[in-house]
Amino acid sequence: MRACPRAIAALAALALLAGCGGGDGPARPERGTKAAPEAQMLRAGDFDTLRRAQAAAEAAWRAAELRKLEGHTSVAAALRRALLRQTISPAAHAAYVRAYAGARLAARKLTGARRGEELAVLGDVERLAATGQLVGGRMPAVFLNLRRNTRTWMTASFPRPAERRTFQGRPEVFQYIPGHGIQLHVLATWGVINARLRTCLGAPRHCPRKSITARLDELGRLAAPRESAWIAVAWAMPLIHGGVPCA
């Protein structure tokens, strides 16, 4: 069998290149140049030091950004402040910004009573921000309320006074309060849960455990932490106007 001429030529070229290396020993650095220092292996403690330094730098940056927000009482500032304090996630921050922008756009498009109700709810949110009450723990309930109002006044039928509504099988109950839009009604919301729990006590075999658990999980996301170990689902209305309509 004859060898392929291209293979013979390639082997010859490799032999020439190997010969130009000057032997098997390592190449010496040219005169006047310094050899590159050898890389040092990081120890386990070095990674901890780097993480602490990174965390300290991030904390300093957050503190500086928070100082820039001092004296600002807009909704945007409240959202930015909550994000920097890590009481809301970046995804939640983006969702709340969209909800607020959508509500303002809706208020510009609406007319008549619908526009008035949307503006009233927007005003509630802005008053919470102006008084320092729009904090991360309250934002899930406040912005859910804002989104439900935007949807109602843009697409749904006009509610009757004191009418209660739910949305797509979700557990939250909303009540229309003329002049204040539809508001998350905490007592009515938990009343539905209590009614289902009574069913479980009376007829355990027919207890909708999965449904109740899912509803409780949904409501848990609206819970606002308090100074004590307790949590509460806050209703924005009493925070702003000093009273809760019980109708």
Q: What is the arithmetic mean of pLDDT over 143-152?
A: 96
Q: Distance between CA atoms of 155 and 92, rounded to whole angstroms?
A: 24
The whole-number pLDDT of residue 227 equals: 46
Q: Quick: pLDDT tens for 169-212.
A: 788 899 999 999 999 988 888 888 888 888 788 888 888 888 78
**Which amino acid is it at 56?**
A
The whole-number pLDDT of residue 179 equals: 95
Q: Distance between CA atoms of 10 and 4, rounded to whole angstroms?
A: 10
Residues contacting 152, CB < 8 A, separation 6+: 159, 165, 181, 182
Q: Distance between CA atoms of 146 and 96, rounded to whole angstroms?
A: 9
119/227: higher pLDDT: 119
199/108: higher pLDDT: 108
108/212: higher pLDDT: 108
Q: Quick: pLDDT tens for 123-132.
A: 999 999 999 9
Lowest mean pLDDT among 44-58, 101-115, 144-158: 44-58
Q: What is the arithmetic mean of pLDDT over 21-29?
A: 53
